Amino acid sequence: MNIVNEMNLNFKSRSSNESFARATVSAFVLCLDPTIAELSDIKTAVSEAVTNCIVHAYPDTIGTIYINVKITDSNKIIIKIRDTGIGIKNIKQAMEPLFTTSSDERAGLGFAVMQSFMDNIKVRSKENKGTTVTMEKTLYRTSYDKR
């Protein structure tokens, strides 16, 4: 598996950046000629992961969110979304549908959406160090021009 394209993005954990993050990632993967449904899946998963950073990783501060996107020669998109926030105490519990620690009107579906809209997802977290969410999705209809 070779990486044929890659981009890095970092920005402040302000909620106004949620649309910027998902639009930028979807613009980057457009070169793979995704279907509208695939693009919508990717945008939604990125929006969920970035919102988690804003709401949960940096609850009382503004931190930095780091996004790395790689495209492989087998048309796989690997999206890594990282924060250096408070971390997740219990990843298994956090990934249960409808579980939320937020008092705000959150549905508790963030990880369920990421799992269902992407091919797979890995979560690594350390308390007071931060969290990294890695999501992958392979596009099948594509013929990527590597130039």
Partner 1 sequence: MVETKFSDNVLTAKLYGEIDHHKAPAIRQKIDGQTENLRPKELHLDFSGVSFMDSSGIGLIMGRYRQVSLIGGKLKVINVPKNLQKIISLSGIDSLGVLK
Binding site for partner 1 (CB under 8 A): 15-16, 18-19, 22, 36-37, 40-41, 43-44, 47-48, 51, 54-55, 105-107, 109-110, 112-113, 116-117
Identified catalytic residue from 22, 38, 52, 75: 52
Active site residue 106: yes
- Whole-Å CA distances, 110 to 44, 52, 70, 75: 9, 7, 22, 25
Smallest separation (angstroms) from partner 1 to the CB of 17: 8
Q: Give the DSSP per-residue string, 21-37.
A: HHHHHHHHHGGG---HH
**44-71: b (≥16 Cβ within 10 Å) or e:** bbbbbbbbbbbbbbbeeeebebbbbbbb
Smallest separation (angstroms) from partner 1 to the CB of 4: 28
Active site residue 147: no
Active site residue 6: no
Q: Which is nearer to partner 1, 105 or 145 (CB)?
A: 105
Q: Which is nearer to partner 1, 12 or 145 (CB)?
A: 12
Show which residues are catalytic: 48, 52, 106
